[in-house]
Amino acid sequence: MRDMLHDYTTVSADSVRSETDEALAAADALVAGAVSSAGSPTFEATLLPLELAGAELVRAYGRAGFMGQVHPDAEVRDAGNDAEERINKWRVALVFRDDLYRAVRAFADTEDSAGLEGERARLLDHWLRDFRRAGHELSSEDRAELERLRTRLVEVEVAFQRNINEFRDGVDVTREQLAGLPDDYIERLSLGEREGTYRVTLDYPEVNPFLEQAHDRDLRRQLFMKNWNKALVANRPLLDEALDLRRRVAALLGEPTWAHHAMELKMARSPERVLAFYDELLPTLEERVRAELDALAERLHADGHDGPISAWDWRYYDEAVRRSEYGVDQNRISEYFPLGPVMDGMFAITGEVLGLEYRAVDDAQAWHGSVRLYEIIDRASDESIAHFYADLHPRDGKYGHAAAFSLIVGHRGADGSWVAPVSAIVANFTPPSGDRPALLKHAEVQTLFHEFGHILHMSLTRAEFARFGGAETEWDFVEAPSQIMEHWTWEPSVLERFARHHASGEPIPTDLVDQMLRSRWFNVAIRIGVQAFYGGIDLAVHAEPEAPDVDAALRRTYAVTGMPYPEGTFFLAGFGHLLGGYDAGYYGYLWAQVIGDDMFGRFAREGVLSGSVGAEYRREILEPNGSRDAEELVRAFLGRDPTNEEFLRLRGMG
């Protein structure tokens, strides 16, 4: 299978362009074959080529478009962004083709199509749905306008993310102004422009610890404000344009709002159901949010500051209370989470639960020397299942958050053989410093496990068609197989297997684990409130038929946090999710967390590392991927519909 992997060391701007050209040509040829079947349509002649074309484009993205997110050469990144735009435009244009619609419609009208079952019937339904959403029931003029709008939307989305990735800002501070931050953090900082200063950037391994630990309140405020105004000049007009394009698309298709249009593809189905979900959960938070903020405000006032807790305060005082009252010092904890052993522990745990083995590939031939490559093996059969790359530390121009990317989607190839998936974790964890290895904050350990949940979803898929692999389930469920993973990072019996001091090798002390556990749900209502704000503002700008007052919507939805709105900011300009696939879907993080908690409840009851529950979880959730409705998968695993009871119980609100 090693020969299926791409040699990324040979990538250039020219190779990115040629890979894209070749893939689009191959996809065009496959689609032409499907179109030519209109006279005698069959599943194999009409629908199968379309799925193979989709797989071809995922491969092209992995070799070309993905380079826009990770390659160290700016010229290659630019070519990668262009490639992503071309690929996405091709996808948009495909479902607008009249000749292709006629071919698929001709097959749908045959007796053979009526006999389709399972994944094949689902595939036809999805293609017919795609054509309907592309306006094939509209006039030719309206359909042409719809295609123009969707094509422009792709351009805007790519430009928006590029601006975030390339944006650079920060604050220059003296050594004295870094009071509260550990020496290893300071050692990793680059020098500032003024002599004797350090540069704190907006990369999250720098901005997050600063907001959590820097004693200088004014500097915390300055850095927070810069972070919430990220890419403002370039991206605010793009956001306004994207929202307008989406409203016009929804109107052409007869939908009340973009949220109604987008949620047809999600578990929720409608914004009304999401609002009902929030209405059920959020009232339980209000009183607790106020109590948590009042307690933090006592600390603020004791430090000589007036007024309420602000956005640049709560994480600092949250961290301070964790240290003083719970004995939780993230810097001390990180000493027990060197990256290498954490990865080994994650492999051992998921291997035991899901029946897997992992092997490091010596010559990764990756896009950067720090990237590692791993092979995933099925323990029972010793079969090679998949490969994945791990690109875990920050560098200039790289994707700025943490995500998993599908580079080759698992599917059944043209000859009937299985094409194994390839994927990548991209993150920006604390890097090594001097003779110290990369020491992860516990929050980074959670993020690693979370993103690895996506990798497992992509890697273990057994869906026949590319459309249903690559974690291609409903977008408000896709986080659940990752949310569930985070629970293992809190289990004492799990932590004792891999949490070792980076220098002495001593296991993490029991009292330190106890302190972590006692503090786990400290200020949980504030955190849920912040998460609800992200989902709330996403709904506010997408669930209105007319152009909303976005600034007013920000202030209105931020109220759920209980804190005053940070005036002088425009957070949405740097909110990449809004134009990165989570539009009218960011609620899915909280929605999926509720479901993930419910599913983890089975492990909690039957055995945290139960291989039998793990085998069922793999069979019922991960392997089907998007080949069945998410609600059906969850029902099969739980034996009932999901509820929010486990989520509330864990957080002391049940």
Question: What digits encode the pLDDT tens for the residues 170-201?
Answer: 999 999 999 999 998 999 899 999 999 999 99
- Residue (of 604, 636, 607, 609) closest to 620 by Cα position: 636
| Helix spans in 432-587 (H) | 442-459, 480-486, 492-498, 510-518, 524-542, 550-558
Confidence of residue 634 (pLDDT cuts 50, 70, 90): very high
Average pLDDT over residues 395-402: 88
- CA angle 459–355–480, rounded 5-degree value: 50
CB atoms within 10 A of CB 210: 28
Confidence of residue 470 (pLDDT cuts 50, 70, 90): confident
Kindly report the backbone phi and psi dihedral angles of residue 543, in degrees, each rounded to the nearest multiple of 5, phi listed first: -110, 20
- CATH number for the domain harbouring residue 500: 3.40.390.10
| Helix spans in 253-360 (H) | 258-263, 271-281, 283-302, 314-326, 330-334, 339-354
- Identify whether 559 is part of a domain: yes
Is residue 1 scored above 70 in pLDDT? no
- Identify whether 499 is part of a domain: yes
- 24 CB contacts (<8 Å, ≥6 apart)? 57, 60, 86, 87, 90
Domain match, 508 and 563 both: no
The residues pairing with 155 across neighbouring beta strands, listed in sequence order, are none
Question: What digits encode the pLDDT tens for the residues 91-126?
Answer: 989 999 999 999 999 999 999 999 999 999 999 999
Question: Which amino acid belongs to residue 8?
Answer: Y
Residues taking part in catalysis: 451
Q: What is the pLDDT of residue 331?
A: 87
Q: What end-to-end distance do the CA atoms of the chain give, in Å?
A: 49
CA 115 to chain centre: 37
- Residue (of 299, 329, 539, 523) closest to 439 by Cα position: 329
Confidence of residue 521 (pLDDT cuts 50, 70, 90): very high
Structure tokens at 165: 């990735």
Q: What is the pLDDT of residue 435?
A: 87
Confidence of residue 582 (pLDDT cuts 50, 70, 90): confident
Is residue 2 scored above 60 in pLDDT? no
Domain match, 434 and 399 both: yes
Average pLDDT over residues 377-381: 97
Q: Of all residues in the chain, what percent carry a pLDDT higher than 90? A: 92
Confidence of residue 434 (pLDDT cuts 50, 70, 90): confident
Domain match, 324 and 347 both: no
Helix (H) or strand (E) holding 638: helix 630-638
What's the chain's Rg over C-alpha atoms? 25
Domain match, 295 and 380 both: no
Average pLDDT over residues 509-534: 95
Average pLDDT over residues 132-138: 95
Confidence of residue 205 (pLDDT cuts 50, 70, 90): confident
Domain match, 396 and 318 both: no
- Identify whether 252 is part of a domain: no
For the chain, the average pLDDT equals 95
- Identify whether 624 is part of a domain: no
Domain match, 343 and 418 both: yes
- The conformation of residue 46, written as its DSSP 8-state character, comes to I
Question: CA 32, 33, 34, 37 torsion: positive or negative?
Answer: positive
Q: How far apart are CA 323 and CA 318, in angstroms?
A: 9
- CATH number for the domain harbouring residue 81: 1.20.1050.40
- Residue (of 387, 385, 357, 394) closest to 372 by Cα position: 387
Q: How far apart are CA 338 and CA 433, in angstroms?
A: 12
Q: What is the pLDDT of residue 433?
A: 85
Domain match, 106 and 181 both: no
Average pLDDT over residues 452-474: 95
- Residue (of 576, 620, 643, 593) closest to 163 by Cα position: 576
- The conformation of residue 39, written as its DSSP 8-state character, comes to G
- The conformation of residue 488, written as its DSSP 8-state character, comes to G
Structure tokens at 629: 């409705």
- Identify whether 634 is part of a domain: no
Q: DSSP secondary structure string, 370-403?
A: T-EEEEEEETTT--EEEEEEEE-S--TTS-SS-E
Domain match, 85 and 199 both: no
Confidence (pTM):
0.91
Q: What is the pLDDT of residue 253?
A: 96
464: three-class secondary structure by DSSP = coil
Domain match, 174 and 215 both: yes
**Residue in the structure block whose two tokens are 């000859």:** 415
Choosing from 230, 261, 282, the residue where a domain stops is 230
- 616 CB contacts (<8 Å, ≥6 apart)? 637
559: three-class secondary structure by DSSP = helix
- The conformation of residue 38, written as its DSSP 8-state character, comes to G
Q: How far apart are CA 406 and CA 419, in angstroms?
A: 13
Structure tokens at 528: 């849920």
Q: What is the pLDDT of residue 4?
A: 74
Q: What is the pLDDT of residue 3?
A: 57
- Residue (of 401, 482, 499, 497) closest to 446 by Cα position: 482
182: three-class secondary structure by DSSP = coil
Domain match, 577 and 445 both: no
Q: How far apart are CA 466 and CA 446, in angstroms?
A: 29
Domain match, 427 and 310 both: no
Q: DSSP secondary structure string, 586-621?
A: TTHHHHHHHHHHHHHHHHHHH-TT-HHHHHHHIIII
- Identify whether 122 is part of a domain: yes
- Identify whether 226 is part of a domain: yes
Q: Quick check: 423 and 405 in contact, CB under 8 A? A: yes
- Identify whether 37 is part of a domain: yes
* Burial bucket for residue 76 (CB in 10 Å: 0-12, 13-18, 19+): buried
How many structural domains is the chain composed of? 4
Question: What digits encode the pLDDT tens for the residues 539-560?
Answer: 999 999 999 999 999 999 999 9
Which three-class secondary structure string do you get for 103-126? HHHHHHCCHHHHCCCHHHHHHHHH
Q: What is the pLDDT of residue 330?
A: 86
Q: Quick check: 532 and 589 in contact, CB under 8 A? A: no
Question: What digits encode the pLDDT tens for the residues 478-514?
Answer: 999 999 999 999 999 999 999 999 999 999 999 999 9
Domain match, 329 and 344 both: no
Q: What residues make up the domain containing 511?
A: 339-473+494-520
- Residue (of 544, 586, 551, 547) closest to 565 by Cα position: 551
